[in-house]
């Protein structure tokens, strides 16, 4: 197994650890003397870093594999799902906003998979990348705001970033659906082209 795929699998193993750290009521809200929100933010930050690193290394080393293409988006969705649902459980994020983000992610993943089966690769949109950055900022800020760092207005930063993630989720979803409709329902030329006419004459 190459290094990029190893990083992706590491991200998957970090998901249950993140949930345990965020949702377990440790004595004194500390793990080995460290506030659990800082430990949780560190785990999520490390997992998000592997998301960037595995893609970068796969392209740089030319180690893009079918396994990596399959498990990388799975690892991303698992990480996002675990973090956002944990925030809802902790009353740090509205459930409806999380539902919008996760619903968009699963819908887009399904459509991209359908397009892939037809031999069409649809790259991520710039709006989707903004959504991902806003999502990471929101999760990190809201995790840290759960403890002793409220004085730094991290809860407000997290809420603002979450709104950005919701808006860009809807905008990017609309853009993906527009592009996918062209893949699934290609336009039919109403009139024969010049090349078609020449072919018809030769056939006749």
pLDDT in tens, 71-110: 887 888 899 999 999 999 989 899 999 999 999 888 887 7
- Check pLDDT > 60 for residue 151: no
In this prediction, residue 184 carries a pLDDT of 60
Residue 151's CB: how many other CB atoms inside 10 A?
7
What architecture is the 3-187 domain classified under in CATH?
Up-down Bundle (1.20)
**Average pLDDT over every residue of 64-75:** 76
In this prediction, residue 203 carries a pLDDT of 38
Which among 81, 86, 99 is positioned nearest to 146, based on CA atoms?
Answer: 86
- Is residue 113 a contact partner of residue 176, using CB atoms and an 8 Å limit? no
144 vs 128, more confident: 144
- Is residue 141 a contact partner of residue 161, using CB atoms and an 8 Å limit? yes
DSSP state of 185: S
């Amino acid at each position: 197994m190459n290094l990029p795929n190893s990083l992706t699998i590491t991200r998957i193993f970090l998901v249950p650890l993140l949930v345990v750290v965020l949702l377990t009521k440790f004595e004194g809200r500390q793990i080995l003397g460290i506030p659990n929100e800082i430990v949780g933010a560190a785990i999520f930050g490390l997992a998000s870093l592997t998301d960037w690193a595995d893609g970068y290394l796969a392209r740089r080393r030319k180690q893009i594999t079918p396994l990596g293409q399959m498990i990388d988006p799975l690892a991303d969705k698992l990480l996002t799902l675990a973090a956002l649902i944990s925030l809802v459980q902790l009353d740090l994020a509205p459930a409806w906003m999380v539902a919008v983000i996760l619903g968009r992610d699963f819908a887009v993943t399904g459509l991209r998979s359908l397009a892939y089966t037809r031999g069409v690769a649809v790259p991520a949109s710039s709006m989707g990348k903004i959504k991902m950055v806003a999502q990471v900022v929101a999760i990190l800020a809201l995790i840290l705001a759960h403890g002793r760092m409220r004085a730094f207005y991290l809860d407000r930063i997290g809420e603002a970033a979450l709104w950005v993630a919701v808006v860009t989720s809807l905008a990017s979803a609309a853009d993906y659906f527009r592009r996918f409709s062209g893949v699934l329902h290609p336009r039919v030329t109403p009139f024969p082209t010049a090349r078609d006419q020449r072919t018809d004459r030769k056939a006749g």
